[in-house]
Structure 1
Amino acid sequence: MALPRVLICGDIVWAHEETQELLGSISKVIRMDSPDRADFLNGLKPGGKYEGIVGIYRHNTSADRLGIFDAKIIDALSGSVKWIAHNGAGYDQIDIAACKSKGIIVSNTPGAVDDATATTGLYLLISTLRQFSKAERNLRSGSWKSGLAPAHDPSTKTLAILGLGGIGFRMAEMAHALGMRILYHSRHERRDVPSWCEYFSVEKLDEMFALTDVLSVHIPLKKETEGAVGEKQIRALKKGAIIVNTARGKVIDEHAMIRALEDGHLSAVGLDVYPNEPEVNPRLLEFPQVTLLPHMGTETEESQRKMEVRALTNLRDYLTTGSGKDIVPELQSKSRL
């Protein structure tokens, strides 16, 4: 009996041995070698080089050649495809509704990126409060400490976490160790977190924002969360507040954020993500107090390896049991398979 065919779509950098261990004996591993989207779509047709695949390992680097896994790509997948194991916590590059309509399950890699993304957020928080990014640029240009406004100790400030998932909670733990007061809002109050995490329901969001010195954003990008941090939410923050974003650029109304920087309602922002990456709004470069990173959140060897292994394990579990872990929330149900 022929082994099921699985497609590796995108980079595997660290987990080469694990790929063989997890999939080598139970599947025929096919490497996606299409130079562009047209070739990929052609390979999915009957008789094409990707015919008969049952599962896909997907990394965002595949978008450089194929674009995102939008409805056109999902619709082109044959009925044999039942599982897409996405490498990443965020899965906005996959059309989940299209997958659901075709009976394709999508898994992601929550937890694997918690430490790396949270430490990125912590750096942005400290850099903006202490003006370290601007100070380093001063030093490199020979201007030493000129033009630096008074900085702030984190221990005197209140941090609000918008979305207390794995990354948000790790950020909360790190900031709490600095002596910060921790507030949070999520869809539901968490019963498994310490009492120093103070919960605010959706009805009390304005109250939370009014107490906030630093807002750290950790909500996933979906149609309903685009622009979730908009003019109203930004203006509800304390005057002089800071926004840190390590989630997705589009969850913040960038124009509203820039207006608040212009008039001083926001004293600074720390960003690792942008609405149209790798493009960065040139207006952001005009604010010396802003700290900007080129989406470095998960760029550690340890996190990258954990993400690769977790995605591969999800694919292995589907092949061996017909099910698997880490199914994205939109596709979770008792009758999903």
Structure 2
Amino acid sequence: MTQRAALLIGVLTHTEKEWQECDKFTSKLHHYPEGLREDFLSKCRKGDFDGVYAMYRSNDSNSITGNFNEELLDALPKSLKFICHNGAGYDNIDIPACTKRGISVSSTPIAVNNATADVALLLMLGALRNVTQAFQAVRQGKWRGNFSLGHDPKDKVLGILGMGGIGSAVAHRAKAFGMKIQYHNRHQLPASEEEGAKYVSFDELLKTSDVLSLNLALNPSTRHIIAKPQFDQMKDGIIIVNTARGPIMDEAALVDALKSGKVWTAGLDVFEEEPKIHPGLLEAENVVLLPHIGTATVETQRDMEQLVLDNLKSAIKEDKLITQVPEQKK
């Protein structure tokens, strides 16, 4: 226990005091607030972080270190056993490589569910009412501009691809608007967790949904899981909402589907090459766009930071994580 140090990469906004209090159960607190990947690698190779047993890193800190790929993992101190990640998504961490090296990884599910689901509903309602045209027109002094009637959510079939914590929170909210919920996962949920939602195959979800909400993690098997072949299966005039990860959907294929009318409108908080957005999406009036703000609330950001610190404390004191990534669970 005495030799178990901790490392924070980046900065904390809401829990700096709680981080400092970690010195009560660690041998040393290391902090790498800013810098470049090569500098970080150099410090690792020189042994500056030797003795670090658990690390706090976030999606934001990826701008400092770059992806946690094999090169970076090989440079990390041999003492490192736990990476406590701040983010529901962790596609910038090579989980198989971590597992091979004996490093356990945690993320922040639960803490992000409500805020992300709220944004999904915001985008869904905005897309249903096709608000972008009117929103732009009124600011340009054109009143309603190129206005067209929208659609009510009531009695629409909402298909949820990925019925985890966020997907379930989306379903719960959508039911209040009178939507009929169906979903697809790799495995059907227990009846007690479905809350009346109907489990369907992937193909059935595509063919029968009026609105499709993407709420699944990004990994090699889900990259471009929605592309031209999938759009071709969908109802004409479907509405698509993505608050998960941009590369889940082929953006170029989405632009074509929007132009053809296959997709009536879309609501997007994430993009394939953030912060770059496909020009076809920026030009389209039938898309509601947000700059990846799904978890951007004071309360949720604090909850996420605190959950990471709780994982770090559990790792150092008990050799286990509270919210270990599912790929590593036995």
Taking structure 2 as the reference length, what is the TM-score of the superposition? 0.96
| Structure 1 match to 2:143 | 144
Question: For residues 185 and 137 of structure 1, do their structure 2 counterparts lie closer, same or farther at Cα, with a shift above 3 Å needed?
Answer: same
Cross-structure match for 1:252? 249
| Separation in structure 2 between the aligned mates of residue 198 and residue 33 of structure 1, nearest angstrom | 47
Q: Are the aligned partners of 1:227 and 1:252 in contact in 2 as well (CA < 8 Å)?
A: yes
Cα distance in 1 for partners of 2:57, 2:119 equals 24
Within-5 A mapping of 1:1-337: 2-21=2-21, 23-27=22-26, 28-46=28-46, 48-191=47-190, 192-200=192-200, 204-333=201-330
Judging changes above 3 Å, is the alpha-carbon distance between structure 1 residues 259 and 58 closer, same or farther for their aligned structure 2 residues? same
CA distance, structure 1, for counterparts of residue 95 and residue 167 of structure 2: 23
The amino acid of 1:186's aligned partner reads N
Which residue identity does 1:190 align to in structure 2?
L
Amino acid at match of 2:269: D
In structure 2, runs of 5+ residues without a counterpart are: none
Shift of 1:81: 0.4
Q: Give, in angstroms, the shift of residue 138 of structure 1.
A: 1.1
Q: 1:246-278: CA deviations, max 9, x gaps?
A: 000001111221111111110111100011111
Letter in 1 for 2:287: V
Q: Does the aligned pair in 1 maintain the 2:138–2:145 contact within 8 Å? A: no
Offset of 1:70 from its aligned partner? 1.6
Aligned partners of 1:177 and 1:34: how far apart in 2?
A: 44
The Cα of 1:90 is off from its aligned counterpart by 0.7
Q: Tell me, yes or no, if the aligned pair for 2:121 and 2:173 is still in contact at 8 Å.
A: yes
Deviation at 1:54, TM superposition (A): 1.2
On the 8 A contact 2:10/2:64 being kept in 1, the answer is no
- AA aligned opposite 1:319: I
Contact persistence 1:10–1:60 (CA under 8 A): no
Q: Is the 8 A contact 2:8 2:33 kept in 1?
A: no
Contact 2:119/2:294 (CA < 8 Å) preserved in 1?
yes
Deviates more, 1:131-140 or 1:297-306: 131-140
Q: Give the superposition deviation at 1:332.
A: 1.3
Q: Distance in 2 between matches of 1:87 and 1:238?
A: 37
1:34 and 1:40 in contact (8 A); partners too: no
Aligned residue for 2:221, secondary structure, equals helix
Under a length normalisation based on structure 1, what TM-score does the superposition of the two structures give?
A: 0.94
For 1:247, the aligned partner's letter is A
Residue deviations 1:275-310 (CA, integer Å, cap 9, x gap): 111111111111101000000001001110111010
Runs (4+) off by over 3 Å: none
Letter in 1 for 2:179: M
Could you tell me how far apart the structure 1 residues matched to 2:145 and 2:272 are?
A: 32
Instruction: Name the Cα RMSD after superposition.
Output: 1.4
- Equivalent residue letter for 1:210: K
Q: 1:332 and 1:210 mapped to 2: Cα distance? A: 33
Report deviation, 1:2. Answer: 4.3
Structure 2 counterpart of 1:325, one-letter code: I
Question: CA–CA distance in 2 between the matches of 1:280 and 1:34?
Answer: 27
- The 8 Å contact of residues 57 and 86 in structure 2, kept in 1 or not, is answered as yes
CA distance in 1, matches of 2:60, 2:174: 32
Aligned length: 328
Q: CA deviation at 1:59?
A: 1.1
User: For structure 1, which runs of at least 5 residues remain unmatched after alignment?
Assistant: none
